[in-house]
């Protein structure tokens, strides 16, 4: 298949200002030294001929292969995957450093076109594979243990078997993929180019979002109103993108016979719909015990009867506006990782010393934060927009967790390293929890402890409550789009219906807030991704409780889980810890950790 870089932008990026020290930038030379590097041109030539010869050698012949032949075929396919992944990672990362640079955008688009053209002849592979009888494949696996190692990959491919179209139609859809990409690029470039008028000063999206967590309430209000004003001016463009993407998905799903818009995501995540439903229901049922209760408490701290949306991420009145310079942020996270296990700090260290992090806020740079694994014979790259707030330190801990996970899983090889989204957030959220506990243990007094606990509760609400509300919004959006074109007002109304339910009665909503769905990249890049955050948070809360109850031997089991990458199902991965995500009580255990923190905050009143 053609590689389309899908950076998984993490939720709730934050920022600040001040002298933060020497912020690192990416060194992409571990992929390629330049856009015209001889190695890149060589790999493109190799890829074109490798795809052609693969199709020539195997099309129409998979059923005749013995176990050794099927293994060789699989290894050749994996090698093609790796070279294509390296090329698109390089093009994509360059683009995300400056999405306003026309040359970078063209370079990425041109390469995507070429790779789509080269890899179209490979579409037969999954289609033919899915026509093989189960017992035929089982016999091949029994014959060759090296081939049997790839069974999870074959299982995931074959999960799509009921939804497969004709060979000709699948090739057509493969070629048309670049059109969907164009809508994603339109979204990215529109977002990166937006300007926000804050009290007569023009700001970009990162700086403006940052104002929502300023101590000064008037600055928060100015930021929120500027966001609402600019999103409202551009809402037709964002509505067009969402309408088109949702319609394209509806057409694809209808042709494939997928029963729900979410089915494709659940299959890709290797998770059962009922597990996601149990998670969703547990969180929605907990809204009154979590977000409604916490925000009522926060309104009291802020001395407000009702809160406006610009108060949601406000610092507490007793919070100091401390900026954390980059060297200190690095030390905090590295110490937290090292205290848990020196191996973890060792895996994280090269990110700081070898140009694997791009940290500063720059004009045109993609907003938010992500860790992109690239390919297993290279290493991951982390993108941040670091501006020195405590939450930025948590974002660093989060993305480094992804990076450590990706490095450990790389040992599985290209096809088995990729972790389903439901488990992809495990190491990142665990890394955050380690960093939080480290910072909490160093709190100087009750005041500082209270501020840190409140910050953690807010992050957890943002990760669990907000993301499940986002998931419900997407479910409603895709369902409504099946009935016809949605106006901006239609989409706004869907957004507000989940906001009021999830945030609770203490909030008022300013005019313009109804458009805040417009800037969230997950809805465009990876529909229904957002539940993975809540899944990851709930899972990590349960894991961390297991660590506290029985620390003996936990680290080795934890490392084994990360090393497994995508080679095992979540049931197998959680079994050594005595956990089972299909048990509805499992989610209550995770949510009770958030409740426990709110209990502590109430007790401090």
In a domain, 467, yes or no: yes
Given a contact cutoff of 8 angstroms between Cβ atoms, the answer to whether 367 and 192 are in contact is yes
Are 464 and 333 found together in one domain?
Answer: yes
Are 328 and 467 found together in one domain?
Answer: yes
In a domain, 150, yes or no: yes
206: left (phi over 0), alpha (psi -120 to 50) or beta: alpha
C-alpha to C-alpha distance for 130 and 149, rounded to whole angstroms: 18
- For the record, the structure tokens of 410 come out as 């790389």
pLDDT at 15: 39
pLDDT at 10: 52
Are 290 and 168 found together in one domain?
Answer: no
pLDDT at 166: 85
H/E element, 287: none
Tell me the pairing of strands 196-198 and 370-372: unpaired
- For the record, the structure tokens of 299 come out as 């309104």
Q: Which domain holds residue 417?
A: 277-354+389-603
In a domain, 588, yes or no: yes
CATH number of the domain residue 62 falls in: 1.20.140.70
In a domain, 382, yes or no: no
In a domain, 291, yes or no: yes
Q: Which of 186, 217, 242 delimits the end of a domain?
A: 186
Q: How many Cα atoms occupy the beta-carbon half-sphere of 155 within 13 Å?
A: 16
C-alpha to C-alpha distance for 221 and 211, rounded to whole angstroms: 8
The string of DSSP codes covering 26-66 is --GGGT-SSTT-HHHHHHHHHHHHHHHHHHHHHTTTGGG--
Are 163 and 290 found together in one domain?
Answer: no
Q: Which of 137, 170, 186 delimits the end of a domain?
A: 186
- For the record, the structure tokens of 102 come out as 């026309």
- Average pLDDT per run of 10 along the chain, which is 605 residues long? 44 50 95 97 98 97 97 97 97 95 95 94 91 94 96 90 85 79 90 94 92 93 97 97 95 94 90 92 96 96 95 87 90 97 98 97 90 96 92 93 96 91 85 92 88 91 95 97 96 96 96 96 92 89 88 95 92 90 84 93 89
Given a contact cutoff of 8 angstroms between Cβ atoms, the answer to whether 244 and 233 are in contact is no
C-alpha to C-alpha distance for 565 and 562, rounded to whole angstroms: 6
| Dihedral angle sign, alpha carbons of residues 271, 125, 139, 149 | negative
- Nearest residue to 576 via CA among 592, 596, 594, 555: 555
Are 282 and 164 found together in one domain?
Answer: no
In a domain, 102, yes or no: yes
Structural domain count, the chain: 2
Residue 307 backbone phi and psi in degrees, to 5: -105, 145
Are 147 and 292 found together in one domain?
Answer: no
pLDDT at 64: 96
Coil vs helix vs strand at 295: helix
Are 296 and 175 found together in one domain?
Answer: no
The 3-class secondary structure across 222-283, one letter per residue, is HHHHHHHHHHHHCHHHHHHHHHHHHHHHHHHHHHHCCCCCCHHHHHHHCCCHHHHHHHHHHH
In a domain, 316, yes or no: yes
Are 29 and 169 found together in one domain?
Answer: yes
> For 315, which DSSP code?
P
Are 168 and 284 found together in one domain?
Answer: no
CATH number of the domain residue 437 falls in: 1.10.1370.20
The pTM of this model reads 0.81
C-alpha to C-alpha distance for 373 and 405, rounded to whole angstroms: 9
pLDDT at 14: 41
Are 329 and 449 found together in one domain?
Answer: yes
- Nearest residue to 245 via CA among 177, 152, 315: 177
Are 409 and 548 found together in one domain?
Answer: yes
In a domain, 151, yes or no: yes
Q: Which of 141, 170, 186 delimits the end of a domain?
A: 186
Are 177 and 285 found together in one domain?
Answer: no
C-alpha to C-alpha distance for 197 and 206, rounded to whole angstroms: 13
């Amino acid at each position: 298949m053609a590689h389309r870089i899908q950076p998984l932008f993490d939720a709730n990026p934050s920022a600040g200002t001040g002298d933060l020290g020497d912020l690192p930038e990416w060194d992409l030379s571990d992929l390629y030294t330049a856009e015209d590097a001889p190695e890149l041109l060589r790999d493109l030539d190799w890829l074109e001929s490798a795809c052609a010869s693969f199709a020539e050698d195997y099309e129409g012949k998979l059923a005749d292969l013995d176990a050794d032949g099927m293994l060789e075929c699989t290894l050749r396919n994996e090698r093609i995957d790796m070279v294509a992944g390296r090329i698109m990672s390089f093009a994509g990362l360059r683009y995300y450093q400056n999405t306003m640079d026309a040359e970078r955008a063209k370079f990425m688009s041109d390469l995507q076109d070429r790779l789509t053209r080269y890899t179209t002849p490979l579409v037969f592979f999954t289609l033919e594979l899915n026509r093989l009888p189960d017992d035929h494949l089982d016999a091949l696996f029994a014959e060759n243990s090296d081939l049997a190692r790839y069974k999870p990959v074959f299982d995931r491919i074959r999960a799509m078997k009921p939804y497969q179209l004709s060979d000709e139609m699948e090739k057509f859809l493969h070629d048309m993929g670049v059109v969907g990409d164009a809508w994603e690029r339109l979204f990215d470039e529109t977002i990166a180019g937006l300007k926000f008028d804050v009290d007569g000063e023009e700001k970009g999206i990162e700086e403006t979002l940052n104002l929502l967590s300023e101590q000064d309430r008037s600055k928060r209000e100015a930021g929120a109103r500027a966001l609402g004003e600019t999103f409202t001016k551009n809402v037709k463009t964002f509505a067009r993108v969402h309408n088109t993407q949702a319609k394209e998905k509806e057409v694809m799903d209808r042709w494939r016979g997928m029963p729900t818009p979410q089915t494709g995501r659940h299959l890709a995540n290797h998770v059962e719909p009922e597990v996601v439903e149990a998670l969703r229901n547990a969180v929605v049922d907990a809204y009154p015990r979590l977000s409604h209760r916490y925000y009522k408490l926060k309104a009291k701290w802020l001395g407000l009867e009702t809160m406006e949306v610009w108060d949601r991420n406000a610092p507490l009145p007793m919070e100091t506006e401390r900026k954390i310079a980059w060297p200190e942020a690095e030390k905090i996270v590295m110490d937290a990782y090292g205290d848990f296990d020196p191996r973890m700090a060792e895996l994280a260290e090269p990110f700081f010393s070898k140009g694997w992090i791009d940290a500063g806020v720059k004009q045109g740079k993609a907003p938010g934060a992500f860790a992109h694994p690239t390919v297993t014979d290279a290493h991951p790259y982390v993108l941040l927009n670091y501006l020195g707030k405590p939450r930025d330190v948590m974002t660093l801990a989060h993305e480094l967790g992804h990076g450590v996970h990706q490095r450990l899983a790389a040992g599985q090889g290209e096809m088995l390293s990729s972790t389903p989204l439901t488990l992809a957030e495990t190491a990142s959220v665990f890394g955050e929890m380690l960093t939080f506990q480290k910072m909490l243990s160093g709190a100087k007094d009750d005041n500082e402890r209270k501020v840190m606990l409140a910050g953690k509760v807010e992050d957890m609400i943002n990760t669990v409550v907000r993301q499940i509300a986002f998931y419900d919004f997407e479910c409603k959006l895709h369902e409504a789009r099946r009935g016809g074109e949605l106006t901006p007002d239609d989409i706004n109304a869907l957004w507000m219906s989940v906001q009021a339910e999830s945030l609770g009665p203490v909030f008022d909503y300013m005019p313009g807030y109804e458009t805040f769905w417009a800037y969230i990249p997950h809805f465009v890049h990876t529909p229904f991704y957002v539940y993975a955050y809540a899944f990851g948070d709930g899972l990590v809360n349960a894991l961390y409780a297991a660590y506290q109850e029985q620390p003996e031997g936990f680290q080795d089991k934890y490392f084994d889980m990360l090393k497994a990458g995508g080679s095992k199902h979540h049931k197998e991965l959680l079994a050594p810890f005595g956990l089972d995500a299909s048990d509805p009580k499992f989610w209550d255990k995770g949510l009770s950790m958030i409740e426990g923190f709110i209990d502590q905050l109430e007790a401090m009143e």
